[in-house]
């Protein structure tokens, strides 16, 4: 199979070819590996390749799952797997090997996916860009290499957009699937809190704000992946509401007439970049044309209070990750172990008392109740995904000492104005998605963002499929990397 044929199919389509005997899993892996080489200099998205592991899994006989034979990549953060070492985006964890397979990976493997490597991440998933020092070079946006691919699942987004794989694993603790989806012209969903398994090593991440997800070019690929992995694992501390039927079946049914609140302003109260405001306006018009009731409405959110609480939780989690590794290595940390933003997060985390941490969790939960009340008359809220088009490389680079003084300054004064929408859904636990309906005049993707009621993942996916059918995006690829 040639690369131009490979990128013409999504993951479900490639699995169909394997099932019908038109192509083999080995041939698909050959193309994916060639695509890594062909795109590496341009985007630097894939940071570890385990070709022998992938070939051995094929030779052993793949499970007869719905995605059998499809090449797949894991983010270099989370989705723990024995055969796939991880850096977690950090020199502190360089080449770290897990002693167990996460339940998420077990389910992905059972779906028949052929995992062959990992994609870049910022250090410990902090930030809206993927420029970690451990890799020696930034991950670049396939649409324009002067711009970021987003973060923290930036490597996965760049790899999918560039045609290395049709879909890839990501994770999202403040927008880390949806930000790169918006930046790279992909579809990205953050499911309802606890819909996907976190075990066996943990019950939740960042007080339940972090959850896994996927970067895809088609809605049905995300549906198939969610069907493969959704549901609690043994010992989960809490469960999401059960899903009423498979996602793949649900997306073939049009959603009911939805009541959609739309806001063209940032949660900070500032106006959006004109390109982002235009994308929201166009998406709202499309929703209205599809028969949905669209109403202008601005939720009242104390976003600064929320982000301070979010930052306390993330800083505490980062400090735990760093100091756990230092204890394992049995040596003090050095300046070369972690990057500046991580050091600032650890400094902040060391000052967060137990009472402060619990107060932050309470503050996050309070905002969740506020958003639940806001959505009583609506099914979902439509906003931009980002307040600006994808940033230039270097703007959010972790080691800059000329831009931020501490971790809260980094979050509130620099990241929040750029990404004021996505983190809210992590705090509230609501499902949210970025849909790739727009390109600006510079040819950069501009995503729009929908946040639904908790547990309404099926409705969200039905709307995504309807939007995709009305304004298809699958065939739109970065011109600079088109085959």
Of 102, 121, 156, 176, catalytic: 176
Specify the 3-state DSSP secondary structure of 305: helix
CA distance 474 to 10: 9
Q: What is the mean pLDDT of residues 93-120?
A: 98
CA distance 458 to 92: 39
Sign of CA dihedral 423, 416, 294, 475: negative
Instruction: For residue 140, give the DSSP letter.
Output: E
pLDDT for position 268 = 87
CA distance 31 to 461: 30
Degrees to nearest 5, angle at CA 35 with 113 and 389: 95
Of 152, 156, 398, 419, catalytic: 152
Q: For the chain, give the longest Cα–Cα distance.
A: 62
Q: What residues are paired with 118 via a beta bridge?
A: 48, 74
Q: For this structure, is 152 an active site residue?
A: yes
Residues in Cβ contact with 30 at an 8 Å cutoff, skipping those fewer than 6 apart: none
Look at residue 479 and tell me whether its pLDDT is greater than 90. Answer: no
Listed by start position, the domains of the chain span 3-481
Tell me which H or E stretch contains 48. Answer: strand 46-49
Of 75, 156, 360, 434, catalytic: 75
Instruction: For residue 411, give the DSSP letter.
Output: I
Instruction: For residue 410, give the DSSP letter.
Output: I
pLDDT for position 481 = 61
Specify the 3-state DSSP secondary structure of 13: helix
Degrees to nearest 5, angle at CA 275 with 270 and 276: 55
Sign of CA dihedral 286, 287, 291, 293: negative
CATH topology of domain 3-481: Amidase signature (AS) enzymes (3.90.1300)
pLDDT for position 482 = 47
Helices (H), 230-270: 247-250
Cβ(482)–Cβ(469) below 8 Å: no
Cβ-count burial of 40 within 10 angstroms (0-12 exposed, 13-18 middle, 19+ buried)? middle
Across the chain, mean pLDDT equals: 97
Cβ(70)–Cβ(166) below 8 Å: yes
Q: What is the mean pLDDT of residues 120-142?
A: 98
Confirm whether pTM is higher than 0.95: yes
CA distance 134 to 123: 8
CA distance 67 to 60: 16
Q: Express each pLDDT in 415-451 by its tens digit.
A: 999 999 999 999 999 999 999 999 999 999 999 999 9
Residues in Cβ contact with 9 at an 8 Å cutoff, skipping those fewer than 6 apart: 17, 166
Residues in Cβ contact with 214 at an 8 Å cutoff, skipping those fewer than 6 apart: 167, 168, 169, 170, 177, 188, 189, 221, 222, 225, 226
Q: For this structure, is 176 an active site residue?
A: yes
Q: For this structure, is 75 an active site residue?
A: yes
Q: Express each pLDDT in 384-410 by its tens digit.
A: 999 999 999 999 999 888 999 999 999
CA distance 259 to 449: 15
């Amino acid at each position: 199979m040639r690369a131009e044929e490979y990128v013409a199919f999504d993951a479900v389509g490639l699995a169909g070819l394997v099932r019908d005997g038109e192509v083999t899993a080995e041939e698909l892996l050959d193309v994916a590996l060639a695509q890594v080489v062909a795109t590496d200099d341009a985007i630097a998205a894939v940071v570890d390749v385990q070709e022998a592991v992938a070939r051995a899994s094929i030779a052993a006989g793949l499970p007869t799952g719905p995605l059998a034979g499809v090449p797949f990549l894991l983010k270099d953060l989370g989705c723990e797997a024995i055969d796939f070492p991880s850096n977690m985006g950090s020199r502190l964890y360089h080449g770290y090997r897990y002693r167990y397979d996460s339940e998420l990976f077990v389910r992905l493997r059972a779906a028949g996916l052929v995992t062959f490597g990992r994609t870049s991440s910022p250090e410990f998933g902090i930030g809206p860009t993927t420029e970690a020092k451990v890799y020696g070079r930034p991950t670049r946006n396939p649409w324009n290499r002067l711009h970021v691919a987003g973060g923290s699942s930036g490597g996965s987004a760049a790899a999918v957009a560039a045609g290395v794989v049709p879909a890839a694993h990501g994770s999202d603790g403040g927008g880390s699937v949806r930000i790169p989806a918006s930046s790279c012209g992909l579809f990205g969903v953050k499911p309802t809190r606890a819909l996907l398994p976190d075990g066996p090593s943990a019950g939740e991440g960042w007080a339940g704000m972090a959850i896994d997800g996927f970067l895809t070019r088609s809605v049905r690929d995300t549906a198939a992946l969610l069907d493969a992995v959704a549901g609690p694992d043994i010992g989960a501390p809490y469960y999401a509401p059960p899903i009423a039927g498979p996602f793949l079946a649900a997306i073939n049914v049009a959603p009911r007439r939805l009541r959609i609140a739309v806001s063209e302003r940032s949660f900070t109260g500032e106006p959006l970049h004109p390109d982002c405001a235009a994308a929201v306006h166009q998406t709202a018009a499309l929703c209205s044309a599809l028969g949905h009731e669209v109403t202008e409405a601005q939720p009242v959110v104390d976003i600064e209070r929320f982000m301070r609480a979010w930052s306390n939780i993330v800083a505490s989690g980062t400090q735990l990750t760093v100091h756990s590794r230092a204890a394992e290595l049995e040596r003090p940390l050095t300046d070369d172990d972690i990057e500046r933003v991580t050091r600032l997060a650890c400094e902040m985390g060391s000052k967060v008392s137990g009472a402060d941490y619990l107060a932050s969790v309470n503050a996050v939960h309070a905002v969740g109740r506020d958003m639940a009340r806001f959505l009583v008359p609506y099914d979902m809220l439509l906003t931009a995904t980002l307040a600006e088009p994808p940033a230039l490389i270097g703007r959010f680079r972790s080691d800059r000492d000329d831009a931020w003084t501490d971790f809260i300054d980094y979050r509130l004064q620099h990241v929040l104005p750029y990404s004021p929408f996505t983190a809210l859904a992590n705090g509230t636990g609501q499902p949210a998605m970025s849909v790739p309906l727009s390109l600006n005049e510079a040819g950069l993707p501009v995503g729009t963002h929908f946040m639904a009621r908790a547990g309404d993942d099926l409705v969200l996916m039905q709307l995504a499929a309807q939007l995709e059918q009305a304004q298809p995006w699958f065939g739109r690829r970065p011109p600079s990397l088109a085959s």
